[in-house]
């Protein structure tokens, strides 16, 4: 792969009827972090899991931030386009359909940015503890694209109004958004796994 490549893990599909998953870790994670989650929510799906190329105090991320909850939006836009190029190349290399992104925290935020900036790259997204990524997003056509947004009621990082704004923003762009607020904080819970598994099962069933 080219200079736009990312360090990544790839697991080929054991179930051809499942959408490929693009696994996007949170701050300090790596390409191994969400493989277990991917296997739990969609057994047998192809898994593509890149490592973020930005380091914050030695911890990988997918884009820079200026402070907690304050994003470097110029860097975010550039990194989203880089990630889109990587996904396009990986699809050609591994023979994949457009993937459903499964992103947690920082990974969910760049997945949301991909939906807004590169809508053709993803078939849908599971956004776990996501925030609005761009203060002035472009007009985007996400007609019918399925999105599951799972927020934590006690999340100290993502304000409730911010996740509700993201759900509204994606819905206004035409996405088919399911937004659930769980009795959880920022870390993932078993409810996240169960809801994500049921949701992706419905997505796969509709595609079939």
Separation CA 170–CA 168 (nearest Å):
6
For 89, which DSSP code? H
Catalytic hit among 105, 151, 163, 192: 105
| Catalytic annotation present for 105 | yes
Active site annotation includes 163: no
Confidence label for 208 from pLDDT (cuts 50, 70 and 90):
confident
pLDDT tens sequence across 40-70: 999 999 999 999 999 999 999 999 999 888 8
Summarised one tens digit per residue, pLDDT across range 115-137 is: 999 999 999 999 999 999 999 99
Q: Which has the closest alpha carbon to 148: 175, 170, 126, 172?
A: 126
Which among 49, 155, 163, 192 is annotated as catalytic?
155
Average pLDDT over residues 143-152: 97
Is residue 25 flagged as an active site residue? no
Tell me the whole-structure pTM to 2 decimals.
0.96
**Whole-angstrom distance, CA of residue 141 vs CA of residue 119:** 7
CB-CB contact of 64 with 75 (8 Å): yes
Only one residue has tokens 């776990």, namely 128
Catalytic residue among 8, 81, 179, 186: 186
What is the predicted pLDDT for the residue at 4?
56
pLDDT at residue 5, as a whole number? 81
């Amino acid at each position: 792969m080219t200079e736009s490549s990312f360090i990544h893990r790839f697991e080929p599909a054991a179930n051809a009827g499942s959408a490929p998953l693009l696994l996007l870790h949170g701050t300090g994670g790596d390409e191994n972090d969400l493989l277990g989650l991917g296997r739990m929510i969609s057994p047998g799906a192809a898994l593509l899991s890149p490592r973020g190329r930005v380091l914050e105090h030695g911890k990988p991320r997918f884009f820079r931030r200026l402070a907690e909850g304050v994003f470097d939006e110029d860097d975010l836009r550039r990194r989203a386009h880089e990630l889109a190029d990587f996904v396009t190349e990986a699809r050609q290399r591994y023979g994949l359909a457009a993937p459903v992104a499964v992103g947690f925290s920082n990974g969910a935020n760049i997945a949301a940015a991909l939906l807004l900036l590169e809508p053709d790259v993803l078939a849908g997204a599971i956004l776990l503890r996501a925030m609005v990524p761009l203060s002035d997003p472009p007009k985007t056509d996400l007609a019918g694209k399925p999105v599951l947004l799972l927020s934590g009621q006690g999340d100290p990082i993502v304000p409730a109004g911010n996740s509700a704004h993201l759900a509204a923003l994606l819905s206004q762009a035409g996405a088919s958004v399911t937004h659930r607020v769980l009795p959880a904080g920022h870390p993932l819970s078993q409810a996240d796994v169960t809801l994500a598994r049921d949701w992706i099962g419905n997505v796969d069933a509709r595609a079939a």
